[in-house]
Amino acid sequence: MPEKEEKEKDLLKELCGNDTELYAFLCHTLYVDPIAAISKRDLAILVEEAEKSFKDENYGDAFRKYQPAVYKAIFEVTQNPGEKGRYIKVILDLASKTAKVTEKVKEKAEREGLVARARYLEEEIKNYEFLSERIEDVIKTASLYYNERLEELGAKERQEAREEERMATERHEQREKRGEMERQAARKEERKGMGRKEREEPGTE
């Protein structure tokens, strides 16, 4: 396992303490880089599209659309603690609907004899049940984790910006140095040319 990934798991493990169930759930629910990984689209749009797929009985598509909506809602509540009550209702509703659609997908997998997939989907249903039961703990730990990660990512971005600024300064200095060397060479050639011209001109009597 890469050192960076191991470090982030250690952070999450530290935040979860001895709560192994919470750790197991958050391990595959939270992102190391939420800004890059979580959908930029509005949560309401994600939910609307998922619900449309469910109404159309396209359960596989609904399952794929509900999941990013759940992950986005969890992230958003960590960044908007003043709206915690509203987000809890949204997350509980999403968890319930996602569990239902996952059950539909699991039934289809069982009919098709896809044992491994059905087992995976059964675990997903348990995860959404866990989310509903432990919503307060999930939000509390996710908030600590994401705020720590965002602070680290912000520091990294500032460091990268400083490095880019330093490199830009170096490139500018190198261009200036090359320009000065070219100007010196041009002046040298000009002096040589003037010397040749003086030697070639006939003397006056």
- H helices of the chain, where? 3-16, 20-27, 34-37, 43-55, 59-79, 84-111, 115-133, 135-200
Q: Identify the residue whose tokens are 């629910």.
A: 29
**Integer Cα distance of 92 and 151 in angstroms:** 28
**Integer Cα distance of 90 and 67 in angstroms:** 13
pTM of the model: 0.72
Q: pLDDT tens-digit profile of 163-195? A: 555 555 456 557 767 767 777 777 777 777 666
Which has the minimum average pLDDT: 20-24, 146-150, 200-204?
A: 200-204
Q: pLDDT tens-digit profile of 20-44? A: 999 999 998 999 999 999 999 999 9
Residue type, 172: H
CB 41, CB 55: distance < 8 Å: no
Residues counted in the chain: 205
